[in-house]
A and B are shown apart, each in its own frame.
Chain A
Amino acid sequence: MPAAAEVLYRQGILPSGAPLRGAREGAEPVEGAAAACVNCHRRSGFGTEEGRIVIPPITGKYLFRAGSMDTANMANPGGEAAGPRRSRYTDQSLARAIREGIDPDGRPLDYLMPRYGLDDAAMAMLVAYLRQLSIHPVRGASGDTLQFATIVTPDADPVKRQGMLDVLEHFFGNKNAFHLGVDPPLQSDRRIHFRVVRRWQLQVWELSGPPENWEAQLDQRFKAEPVFAVISGIGGRTWEPVHRFCQSESIPCLLPNVDLPVVAEQDFYPVYFSRGVLLEADVIARRMQEEAGKSGLRRVIQVYRRDDIGATAAQALAAAIAPLGVKAVARELKSAKPARELADLLRETAAGDALVLWLRPGDLQALPVQPGAATSVFVSGLMGGLENAPLPAGWRTIARMSYPYQLPPQRTVMMNYPLGWFSIQHIPVVDERTQTNTYIACSILAEAAGHMLDNFVPDYLLERVEVELSHRIINGYYPRLGLAPGQRFGSKGAYVVRFADPQGKRMVADGEWIVP
């Protein structure tokens, strides 16, 4: 149970159980969750920026010291340059600000800030909450070092794992090459550049055994060596235990290489690049829905392996097409060499069927030369290997692929940056997608951490990522990324593509970018 003060701050519920009410001139009052402090000032209390509006920090550290435009005192988070020009608050002047919207110098606060008619007890509780907000020692952040972990599950692809670790090690190494040693807390802007440079230390948390044991292993690692955040990481069939760990321990877990993430956007701490194969399932479903009338779709046959992520994607697709009223058939591949199984399966197909292949390259290679009688064929790009998918030539004219990235020709320029960096660092490119995403994840972390000044609070890291992510231009494979409160998947859409030629990797879009 969260404390009453936190409920007031985050949910806008008064200790009495009544909704918090905020008033603005010329507008009707806001109530409850809509009136909660957290909306603007955020969980950390460090505020944010929207356009030209700076929402100031309201933690005790900032309220009870004089704001200033002096260059000698610029340590306001968010908008350093826009720090409030005001005297320090006292408990009394803060209560007046909250109730009447007047700052300690008698000037009105911004129109966006409502006035709250709190009684004395609720006011005292709120002020006490602000006084302690975000001042606790942060795990994994010391005067000169930030501790990070990356998480590897035992079922992760070993080649991708190594590619990811190479990128992480080089990125951390580069970061630390500029570290100048222990630095005292910032007192003036003259030390601003030093202060944000902490040494970055990476721990690689390799999990073992079945998924039900992972959370205990993570807890143990975290207790032994606490980290500030989890960066990147790589998974296989399930990422759920890691997601749960991040959320329950309040650790930011940024942008792992997982194609089946956990969809729980009400959770604050885990952040993903996209919904992965679940996004693919929705995009394929959308396309089927659009074509249902003219394609005479009667049956959807999905092929996958039980121990792979395609099994979950197939369930998602079956659920998504339920309203179409077509029959959904699930086919599990069982044998290690599935050529015969696949051939038998294809003999069952008929006109009006859509075949959906949630298969890895090894299984795609085992497909018969010709695709059988199905009217349409969809292949998961994430599982099949995107443009490298080894589809037999006979399939290439009919098969379409869900492709949750920018198309290769359009991303060439975006890719110059990561590929150039790999080259300079002498990092062998063993899996371009994994390594690029890892590099992008590190860049995002570095940017966000760089803007935290010395406010190394986990919640604030995520708040910075939310604010800054959509400013980015270089996103590797992704056309664009963006988050916000309640948004935990950076990229939201996908193309449906087809191979342009019987051989080679050239792909052409079959329609526009789809956001299901």
Chain B
Amino acid sequence: MSAGINARTIVLAVFAAALAASFALRAGAADDATDPHAAHQPSAAATVIRSTANYNVPPIKLVRDDGKSVSLADELNDGRPVVLNFIYTTCSGICPLASHIFSQLQRKLGADRDGVHLVSISIDPEEDTPARLRDYARGYLAGPSWQHYTGTMAASIAAQRVFEVYRGDKMGHTPVTLVRPAPGAAWVRFDGFATADLLLQELHAAGHVTAAASPLSPAGR
């Protein structure tokens, strides 16, 4: 289905005190979670694992929230950078935060907003009809460049498998955000809750989005 994840895996811990300016970056294995600062600087920061991967997107037919039947590959290859996640509208734990982050990212993109395609694919497609997705999108003030997708159960599962996020059913899902900073580039995968700033940094680093708003250097890349 897809190429394996590259060996370069970076654990990112985001600290509130140094929110936008500094990222504590440590190269190391994902399971090596010891944090030298944990003892004296307790923090509920998101633990995020960054990796890169190439995913081959086979023909998959999805239905966009405007009711139009579309090809996933075409939606991803419209020339814009893509930020992708998987959600479902009646999810009460992980997805609201994931959608909240997209909403925030959209705002932070400012003038670049419509130059980045935000893609949210439902993992509960039979419940999430286009109408329900539109309502959901409205709740997060989704602009025209943030679109939600549904389709048959088989199509949703196929899309989840492409990006290696399929966990058997909707209740098994884990927070994953995927960024492709430019068409044809490798995908950057974040396991865990990647904050809007982290996603923004990834987009800016590739240079396809104006870096005016970014205080972050592409360290570690």
Chain A residues engaging chain B, CB cutoff 8 angstroms: 24-28, 30, 34, 38-40, 48-53, 55, 101-102, 106-113, 115, 467-468, 470-471, 480, 482, 484-487, 492-493, 512-513, 515-516
Most buried by A among B93, B169, B173: B93
Chain B residues with CB below 8 A from A480, complex form: 126, 153
- Given A50-B94, A50-B173, A470-B170, is A30 in contact with B45 using a C-beta cutoff of 8 Å? no
A180–B80 Cα gap in the complex (Å)? 64
Chain B residues with CB below 8 A from A39, complex form: 92-93, 96
Q: Are B44 and A40 in contact (CB under 8 A)?
A: no
- Given A25-B15, A112-B94, A482-B127, is A471 in contact with B169 using a C-beta cutoff of 8 Å? yes
Number of B interface residues, CB 8 Å? Answer: 44
Q: Are A111 and B47 in contact (CB under 8 A)?
A: yes
Chain B residues with CB below 8 A from A106, complex form: 42
Q: Are A485 and B196 in contact (CB under 8 A)?
A: no
- Given A28-B100, A34-B96, A112-B93, is A484 in contact with B170 using a C-beta cutoff of 8 Å? yes
**How far is the CB of B85 from the nearest CB of chain A, in Å?**
13
Chain A residues with CB below 8 A from B167, complex form: 51
Chain A residues with CB below 8 A from B16, complex form: 25-26
Cβ of B73 within 8 Å of any chain A Cβ, yes or no, is no
**How far is the CB of A439 from the nearest CB of chain B, in Å?**
22
Interface on chain B toward A: helix, strand, loop, or mixed SS? loop
Within 8 A of A (CB), among B14-34: 14-16, 19
Cβ of B124 within 8 Å of any chain A Cβ, yes or no, is yes
Sample of 14 more A-B contacts, CB < 8 Å, known A53-B175, A484-B92, A515-B126: A28-B104, A50-B172, A51-B167, A53-B93, A102-B42, A110-B44, A111-B45, A112-B93, A470-B170, A470-B171, A471-B169, A482-B169, A485-B90, A515-B125
Query: Can you pick out 9 interface pairs between chain A and chain B where the beta carbons lie within 8 Å of each other?
Result: A25-B43, A25-B195, A26-B16, A50-B93, A50-B94, A55-B93, A484-B91, A485-B90, A487-B127
Q: Are A487 and B90 in contact (CB under 8 A)?
A: yes
**How far is the CB of A467 from the nearest CB of chain B, in Å?**
5
A102–B41 Cα gap in the complex (Å)? 11
Chain B residues with CB below 8 A from A25, complex form: 14-16, 19, 43-46, 195
**How far is the CB of A110 from the nearest CB of chain B, in Å?**
7
Q: Are A482 and B196 in contact (CB under 8 A)?
A: no
Chain A residues with CB below 8 A from B45, complex form: 25-26, 108, 111
- Given A26-B195, A26-B197, A484-B88, is A51 in contact with B44 using a C-beta cutoff of 8 Å? no
Q: Are B174 and A107 in contact (CB under 8 A)?
A: no
**How far is the CB of A55 from the nearest CB of chain B, in Å?**
6
- Given A39-B92, A487-B127, is A26 in contact with B19 using a C-beta cutoff of 8 Å? yes
A399–B45 Cα gap in the complex (Å)? 61
Q: Are A111 and B193 in contact (CB under 8 A)?
A: yes
A471–B168 Cα gap in the complex (Å)? 8
- Given A25-B43, A30-B100, is A51 in contact with B124 using a C-beta cutoff of 8 Å? no
Q: Are A512 and B152 in contact (CB under 8 A)?
A: yes
From B91, B101, B127, B152, A27 is in contact (CB under 8 Å) with B101
Chain A residues with CB below 8 A from B14, complex form: 25-26
Most buried by B among A39, A102, A110, A482: A482
**How far is the CB of B172 from the nearest CB of chain A, in Å?**
5
Chain A residues with CB below 8 A from B46, complex form: 25-26, 111
**How far is the CB of A479 from the nearest CB of chain B, in Å?**
8
Chain B residues with CB below 8 A from A27, complex form: 97, 100-101, 104, 195-196
Q: Are B172 and A492 in contact (CB under 8 A)?
A: no
Q: Are A115 and B44 in contact (CB under 8 A)?
A: yes
**How far is the CB of A117 from the nearest CB of chain B, in Å?**
14
A109–B90 Cα gap in the complex (Å)? 24
A40–B94 Cα gap in the complex (Å)? 9
- Given A27-B196, A30-B100, A470-B169, is A484 in contact with B90 using a C-beta cutoff of 8 Å? yes
A111–B15 Cα gap in the complex (Å)? 12
Interface flags for B95-131 (1: CB within 8 Å of A; 0: not) read: 0110011001000000000000000000011110100
A152–B54 Cα gap in the complex (Å)? 57
